[in-house]
Amino acid sequence: MPNRRDFLRALIAAPAGASLLFSQTPAPAPIKATKLSDRLAVLMGDGGNVAVVISDDGLMMVDGGLAERSADLLQAASTQVDSHPFRMVFNTHWHLDHVGCNETLGKSGAKIIAHVNSKKWLSQKVTMEALNRVIEPLKPEGLPTQTFTKGGKLTFGKESIEYGVVPPAHTDGDAYLFFPGPNVLHTGDLLFNGTYPFIDYSTGGWIGGMASACDTLLKVGDAQTRIIPGHGPMGTKTDLQASRDMLTAVHDRFETMRKQGKTAQDVAAAAPTKDFDDRFSKGAKPDQFLQIAYTGLLRHYVPSAVAAQQ
Ligand SMILES: [Zn+2]
């Protein structure tokens, strides 16, 4: 079995613009900070995109990148954004390319907030069947110290933040954050900007939920809202709409095939995303997306039948 580092490099460590699952990254990418307002910055370069909220006496991190890049991330935050320590961490979901700073910051006393299901998955060994990998639990100091099951509001320093949850989509514990002041939306992995998404059916994700989540996100903010996606470059509502339209169309095609009793192999052979591949296959292979997304759809309806098929 490949070690953790190989796994991350091969499967998770996607550069900006590439997707979680399908990209091969030969060397660590630099982490680059971009200021979105006086009190909000985004760090991009490796793992999921990270937002940093700045207050007079400390920082808040939204997602934490990869564990193996945590030192680089914290240094980039300190040198490029603000040198105060992190007091709070918000995890949009449990995946290891979004919780990489949890253990370090939890140990130093930061409060960690996540959906109750994200804490559940972070607390145990999880087999991600789509990747055929086992993910170890975080150490206790990296686990969320506060959980939620529905959306709410919080204030960090002078920044008012709204967060929301959606029914199972990318996983069964996805949250998004909206910053009304600077008009910025952090979607977590509910949006892979410009590529096919990875959908983690082992922890409750499915393509119908991804499409519905986009509908929910489209109603947050307004036409000018800037979007920090889980992966890929900064986006707009137009990018979100494009993702929503693709996911809805592919979901509908899948539903027809599911009712005809098609297997994931049948679906991949039929290439039902052909018309979307030019726009969304950058860094993601359509057949892998199809296999995983369709298996997740079957799993959503008949868990045991899919297990038997594999
Ligand atoms: Zn994810």
Ligand 1 mean position to 195 CA, how many Å? 13
- Rounded to 5°, angle at Cα 17 from 156 and 198: 85
Domain ranges, ordered by start, for the chain: 4-309
Q: What pLDDT is recorded for position 40?
A: 98
Tell me, in angstroms, the distance from the centre of ligand 1 to residue 182's CA: 25
CA of 72 to the centre of ligand 1 (A): 20
pLDDT of residue 284: 74
CA distance 3 to 19: 21
- Smallest CA-to-CA distance from 50 within 73, 27, 18 is with 73
* Residue 306 one-letter amino acid: V
Q: Give the DSSP letter of residue 10.
A: I
Q: Phi and psi for 21 in degrees, rounded to 5?
A: -100, -35
Residue 310's pLDDT is 42
Q: Can you give the pLDDT at residue 269?
A: 87
Distance 12 CA to ligand 1 centre (A): 9
First to last CA, the chain: 20
CA of 189 to the centre of ligand 1 (A): 5
Q: Which residues of the chain have pLDDT under 70?
A: 1-26, 304-310
How far does the centroid of ligand 1 lie from the alpha carbon of residue 56, in Å? 31
Considering the domain delimited by 4-309, tell me its CATH architecture. Answer: 4-Layer Sandwich (3.60)
Residue 260 alpha carbon to ligand 1 centre in Å: 30
Distance 93 CA to ligand 1 centre (A): 7
Ligand 1 centroid distance, CA of 230 (Å): 7
| H or E segment to which residue 242 belongs | helix 237-259
pTM: 0.90
- Cα of 159 to ligand 1 centre, how many Å? 26
Task: Yes or no: say if 182 and 36 are a contact pair by the CB < 8 Å rule.
Answer: yes
pLDDT value at residue 101 = 98
